[in-house]
Amino acid sequence: MSLHDAESRTFASDNYAGVHPEVLAALAAANGGHQVAYGGDVYTARLQQVVREHFGESAETFPVFNGTGANVVALTSMMPRWGAVIAADTAHINTDEAGAPERVSGLKLLTVPTPDGKLTPDLVATEAWGWGDEHRAQPLAVSITQTTELGTLYSPTEVRAIADYAHDNGMAVHMDGARIWNAAAALGVDFRAFTADAGVDVLSFGGTKNGLLGAEAIVVLDPARATGLTYLRKLSMQLTSKMRFASAQLLALFDDDLGIRSAAHANAMAARLRAAIEDVPGLSFSQSTDANAVFAVLDNAAADRIRERYRFYDWDRAAGQVRWMCAFDTTEADVDAFAAAIREELER
């Protein structure tokens, strides 16, 4: 029995979307019979092979339940207890994980203001100091997000510049890839080009925002930069017993380019939305629309009236900034109707 309108769609978050039908089919195919628990199954073994095909032969994959778990466990594996992570002040690990990195891992976050959500070597340098000072948490990792929380995108060259600076200063590089499929689709390159080949050491590999029921993974690209993951998943309550179902979902995204197709569609819907409203009076855009997010600025009262018809979030209410997200199942009709509602409200 369905308790909701299965045709309803919003622009609040790609997390609001359901499970992609092809992923549901993959779950059904993985069901039945018995498979070894805790990652000893054939689906997890196959996932290891597929990830190596896309990220390089040294890649090691550790499926987990969610993105917060992927980030926290990954960062825990990359440094000792006295380590610190340099990240943008808007990074998900800083703003939306309820202090999990600090409380669960015990690490310190050193955050850097950045208007577009992106770090640069110069910005990293503002917190990359104090090594050997017993009074300061030691900067031992840099974490970047692809795409960023502000919907912007790192090019492979930008990632490489950060990685080179970090490595030259004895720091490892973590990438939060909650929307990594959207990044790959927008860049039009394979994953390796902006991860392993660009110097990323450890990756949080997302799936939930791209049509999975709930499956993410930690992908170690440089095994020398991460230790203890065999034990840390269990210690951090991220080791699933029926791992075949997490692995089967992740495999589904690679099968027949489902993940890229879904992400490219979401990106295209965001571009369509922005193009439809760029000339609307009383509306401006605070960020470039690089993937599947549109960040706009408008009067709060007008936003609230539009929200009576379509749910979406304020990003910074004091600045009148809102975020509109598109997902794999957003349709052109959805976008056109939403754009019409925005135009109607702001032009009246």
**DSSP states along 91-103:** -HHHHSSTTHIII
Model confidence at 188: pLDDT above 90: yes
Average pLDDT over residues 261-278: 98
Every domain range in the chain assigned CATH 3.90.1150.10 = 258-347
Residue 30 has pLDDT above 90, yes or no: yes
| Nearest-angstrom CA–CA distance, 152 and 180 | 12
Question: Residue 1: is its pLDDT beyond 90?
Answer: no
pLDDT range class, residue 328, cuts 50, 70, 90: very high
pLDDT of residue 176: 98
On the question of pLDDT at 215 being above 90, the answer is yes
Q: Sheet holding 60-64: strands in order across?
A: 60-64, 216-220, 202-205, 172-177, 138-145, 83-88, 108-112
pLDDT over 90 (residue 91)? yes
Please list the residue range(s) of the chain that carry CATH number 3.40.640.10. 20-257
Query: How far out from the chain centre does Cα 301 lie?
Result: 30
Is a pLDDT exceeding 90 seen at residue 249? yes
φ/ψ of 151, rounded to 5, equals 80, 5
What is the pLDDT, as a whole number, of residue 253? 98
20-257, which class in CATH?
alpha beta
User: Does pTM surpass 0.95?
Assistant: yes
% of residues, the chain, pLDDT over 70: 100
CB 289 within 8 A of CB 274: yes
Q: Does domain 258-347 sit in CATH 3.40.50.2000?
A: no
Other Cβ atoms within 10 Å of 81 Cβ, number: 10
**What is the model's pLDDT at position 68?**
97
Binned at pLDDT 50, 70 and 90, residue 267 comes out as very high
**pLDDT of amino acid 348:** 82
Which run of H or E residues covers position 44? helix 42-55
| 341 touches 333 (CB < 8 A) | no
Cα 116–Cα 119–Cα 120 angle in degrees, nearest 5:
120
Across the range 19-47, mean pLDDT stands at: 98
At residue 139, the 3 state secondary structure works out as strand
Q: What is the mean pLDDT of residues 185-200?
A: 98
